[in-house]
Amino acid sequence: MKRRTLVQMLGGASLLATGVGQAVARGMMSSSHHAEMMHDMQGMHHMDDMQGMMHGTANLMPLNKMPSQQKLQRLPLLKNQSNQPRLFKATLEAKPVKLTLADRKQTEVWAYNGQIPGPQVVAFEGDTVEINFINSLSQPSTIHWHGLPVPPDQDGNPHDAVAPGESRLYRFTLPKGSAGTYWYHPHPHGYVSEQVFRGLAGSFIVKAKDDPLAHLTEQHWLISDLRLDAQANIPQNTMMDWMNGREGQFVLINGQLNPKISIKSGERIRIWNACSARYLKLEIPNCSWILVGTDGGLLEQPRPAAKTLFIAPAERVEVIVHTDTDQLSQLMNRYYDRQKMMVKESAIDLELASINVKATNYKLPNQLRSIADLGTATATKKVEFSEAAMDHDTMPMHGSMDGGHDMSMHMLQSMFMVNGKTYDMQRMDLTSKQGEVEEWEVFNNSHMDHPFHLHGTQFVITKRVLNGQKIPEAFKALRDTFNLKPYERVTFKVKQNDKGLRLFHCHILEHETIGMMANLNVV
């Protein structure tokens, strides 16, 4: 769909109601939801109001109203309630709670165990993990163990949603070779975006007894963003959020705004991009990043030092910060143009933290581990991300509000597609055989960047093609998420070890919520 076409389609005032986003998030248009939407629109009489709802820029909490420049706090740990060796047992409850975040006002967030971010799970390869999940929300929910090699029926698929007021036990064993940096978040279809932007996400680290970097001290930076209105409430998505992905004005590290961080060169830093849609291009001026790990754990060798560190939504990295001299600096997020729809952005960099860097002597092993070659692929899969091809000339732009709402619902739910279709929970889109090595080619046939995520396993990218140029992958790494630039093709090798239902989707959560997702049946 051409950008010009989309602009024309969004010209009607009826497209700008918050209720559209609410109805899409629920995946339905019942009469009660339609009545709510009509009520939401009654107070919207001025173009300024509509523009504010569309772009999400009106009546936001100023940045200086949130405390900043405080010492970075460690992520809270989820306590192991088991006394048995090799068993991690705990409870996670998703529940609305009120916290004072900005302007001394209370904000209702949805949190795991009352904490934002959720408590960190730390376990070892070989451990059995038992998490009792209690859903105290008013919506169905799940816990998806993002990137972890868990059985499909334990992975929080939308097909296994936990109803409000109910609970369930997630149980899985962490296999040898699974050490890495993971996270957890909800995955009920139609509700993911809202549940995450209201606060439901946490980190999960799997450690190995033979970790070659175990001698290094560690820091953990979970980066998220939060949008608050002037009354310190978390507002609903705007139309622009559904199109481009939601970004909040507060970019947080471990739930803190612009904290003070002290680091030593040679420290191991795990970084999570837990944002719904924000891309990270991190830099500490006069320092460099040495990449040692990705989603699924350590690389084979440390990478050469680099000035910037790119992390797409849902990706994780392990890095060493290198400096030759002590210095006071800043953690900057450099502007990255991900080709948003209908937005002309200024190339503005954001300061995320104040950094005090100490130069120390350290030594990294030349070899971190060996990543096994999967071998020759015996099956192939082709996946295409695309924007819907809509003919605006045949779509009604005038008439009643009801018609406008029906049109906007149709537009949103068919805006982003996988292999030409929007998500259907009952449809099996692809089939794989258990234990078979496959080669996947994923093509981003759209105008904007999209992060791709495949459930249940790690894979190895082998090549990329952009603007007709083949780009071999520079190094072997285990991943479950990667970015796709506009019209880029990425090829990877993968093997699914468990039978059952897996999903793959765009990890801009708003795109996933309105249908940029598909089912994979492993037989």
* 8 A C-beta contact, residue 295 and residue 479: yes
296-332 per-position pLDDT tens digit: 999 999 999 999 999 999 999 999 999 999 999 999 9
- Judged by average pLDDT, the poorest of 282-291, 333-342, 390-399, 415-424 is 390-399
Q: What is the pLDDT of residue 414?
A: 78
Residue with the bigger pLDDT between 397 and 367: it is 367
Q: What is the pLDDT of residue 389?
A: 58
Q: What is the pLDDT of residue 58?
A: 65
Residue with the bigger pLDDT between 343 and 113: it is 113
Q: Is the torsion defined by CA of 6, 411, 450, 183 positive or negative?
A: positive
Q: Does domain 379-522 have CATH number 2.60.40.420?
A: yes
CB-based contacts of 254, cutoff 8 Å, min separation 6: 72, 73, 74, 75, 117, 220, 221, 222
Strand order in the sheet with 128-135: 105-112, 87-102, 128-135, 167-173
Q: What average pLDDT score do residues 392-406 get?
A: 37
Q: What is the pLDDT of residue 16?
A: 38
Q: What is the pLDDT of residue 404?
A: 41
Strands 268-273 and 316-322 turn out to be: antiparallel
Residues counted in the chain? 523
**pTM of the predicted protein model:** 0.90
Backbone φ and ψ of 201, nearest 5°: -170, 145
Q: Is the torsion defined by CA of 114, 115, 117, 119 positive or negative?
A: negative
25-42 per-position pLDDT tens digit: 444 333 333 333 333 333
118-173 per-position pLDDT tens digit: 999 999 999 999 999 999 999 999 999 999 999 999 999 999 999 999 999 999 99
Residue 290 — very low, low, confident or very high, per pLDDT cuts 50/70/90?
Answer: very high
* 8 A C-beta contact, residue 479 and residue 458: yes
Query: Quick check: 4 pLDDT over 70?
Result: no
Q: What average pLDDT score do residues 42-46 get?
A: 35
Query: Quick check: 13 pLDDT over 60?
Result: no
Question: Radius of gyration (Cα) for the chain, nearest Å?
Answer: 23
Instruction: Extract the tokens encoding 161.
Output: 């949603």
Query: Quick check: 227 pLDDT over 70?
Result: yes
407-441 per-position pLDDT tens digit: 455 677 778 999 999 999 999 999 999 999 999 99
Q: What is the pLDDT of residue 267?
A: 97
Instruction: Extract the tokens encoding 343.
Output: 């937005």
Q: What is the pLDDT of residue 410?
A: 63
* 8 A C-beta contact, residue 333 and residue 301: no
Query: Quick check: 232 pLDDT over 50?
Result: yes
d(CA 330, CA 465): 34
d(CA 459, CA 434): 15
333-380 per-position pLDDT tens digit: 999 999 998 888 889 999 999 999 999 999 999 999 999 999 999 999
Q: What is the pLDDT of residue 413?
A: 73
- pLDDT above 70: percentage of residues in the chain: 85
What's the DSSP call for residue 236? P
Q: What is the pLDDT of residue 393?
A: 41
Domain ranges of the chain: 379-522
Backbone φ and ψ of 255, nearest 5°: 80, 5
Q: What is the chain's mean pLDDT, rounded?
A: 89
Q: Is the torsion defined by CA of 235, 239, 243, 249 positive or negative?
A: negative
- Judged by average pLDDT, the poorest of 18-27, 256-265, 415-424, 445-454 is 18-27
* 8 A C-beta contact, residue 506 and residue 451: yes
> For the purposes of burial, counting CB atoms within 10 Å of the CB of 64, is it exposed (0-12), middle (13-18) or buried (19 or more)?
exposed
d(CA 522, CA 457): 12
Q: What is the pLDDT of residue 343?
A: 83
Query: Quick check: 18 pLDDT over 60?
Result: no
